[in-house]
């Protein structure tokens, strides 16, 4: 059976339909079956529907996503309450330890992203991984920085990613490899993207990071966002007096 692949971080401008259509068609041609595109928290429904139509024309599945950068725990909690029912994927940029710890243990968070190159500002350590292992979040790794950084910056990033990937594997935290691509030049085939994961030690499980892990995340959220969902393992089958 043909393996399905996903890229959960295709960073398009949803208002530029022509460019978005060209990149999405390229992604479909490369072999992806599902893409997620980040929107602003204030995005109107019609913008999401427009991109949904472009993906439908390209015969590729589409998941709306939001990337949030909360400043405090209260800000994080407020945004999660406001946005959880609006988007299929919520990613949190963990720019301080307070946010990283809270996001790791909140089941409304799907992806933990650590954007800093500075070792001291990347908070995915053993304590973070232990919290994440008890929730439903995955560690997301964007490949764009690996492709655009050079020299010492790239070396430091690879070193950080090797450490974080090893910790995630130890604590059974799912890893999702995304492109983070903003242009066609940064796109890679799914297996090429998985092969880059070998740089930080994900050899045997590298394909899972672009297939099984991201697809399972989207499927789980779609079930939870369905109006018939009550709780894990509980769904409304029929409503009415004759039930």
Q: Give the model confidence (pLDDT) of 91-140 as tens digits.
A: 999 999 999 999 999 999 999 999 988 888 899 999 999 999 999 899 99
Beta strands in 44-161, from DSSP E residues, in sequence order: 61-68, 89-93, 111-113, 138-142
This prediction has a pTM of 0.89
Query: What Rg do the C-alpha atoms of the chain give, in angstroms?
Result: 18
Q: Which of 79, 39, 34 is nearest to 58 (CA)?
A: 34
Question: Can you name the residues that pair with 68 across neighbouring β-strands?
Answer: 92
Give percent of the chain above pLDDT 70.
92
**CA 67/CA 9 separation, integer angstroms:** 10
Give percent of the chain above pLDDT 90.
81
Cβ-Cβ contacts under 8 Å for 50 (sequence gap 6 or more): 14, 17
**CA 178/CA 181 separation, integer angstroms:** 8
Is residue 146 scored above 80 in pLDDT? yes
Would you tell me which CATH number, out of the four given (3.90.650.10, 3.20.20.80, 3.30.465.10, 3.20.20.140), belongs to the domain 6-235?
A: 3.20.20.140
Q: Give the model confidence (pLDDT) of 7-36 as tens digits.
A: 999 999 888 999 999 999 999 999 999 999
DSSP type of residue 3: P
Task: Give me the DSSP letters along 156-204.
Answer: HHHHHHHHHHHHHHHTT--EEEE---SSGGG---HHHHHHHGGGGT-ST
Count Cα atoms within 13 angstroms, Cβ side, for 67.
19
Enumerate the domain spans of the chain: 6-235
């Amino acid at each position: 059976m043909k393996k399905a692949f996903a890229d959960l971080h295709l960073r398009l401008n949803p208002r530029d339909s022509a460019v978005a259509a060209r990149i999405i068609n390229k992604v479909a041609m490369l072999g992806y079956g599902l893409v997620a595109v980040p929107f602003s928290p204030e995005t109107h429904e019609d913008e999401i529907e427009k991109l949904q139509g472009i993906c439908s024309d390209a015969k590729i599945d589409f998941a709306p996503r939001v990337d949030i950068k909360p400043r405090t725990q209260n800000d994080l909690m407020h945004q999660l309450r406001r946005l959880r029912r609006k988007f299929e994927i919520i990613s949190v940029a963990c720019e301080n330890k307070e946010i990283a710890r809270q996001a790791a243990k909140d089941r409304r968070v799907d992806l933990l992203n650590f954007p800093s190159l500075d070792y001291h500002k990347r908070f995915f350590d053993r304590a973070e991984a232990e919290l994440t292992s008890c929730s439903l979040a995955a560690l997301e790794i964007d490949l764009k920085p690996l492709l655009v950084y050079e020299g010492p910056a790239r070396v430091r990033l690879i070193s950080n990613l090797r450490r974080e990937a090893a910790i995630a594997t130890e604590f059974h935290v799912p890893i999702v490899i995304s492109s983070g691509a903003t242009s066609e030049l940064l796109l890679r085939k799914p297996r090429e993207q998985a092969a880059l994961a070998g740089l930080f030690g994900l050899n045997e499980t590298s394909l899972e990071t672009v297939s099984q892990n991201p697809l399972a995340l989207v499927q789980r959220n779609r079930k939870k966002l369905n109006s018939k969902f009550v709780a894990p393992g509980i769904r409304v089958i029929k409503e009415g007096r004759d039930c």
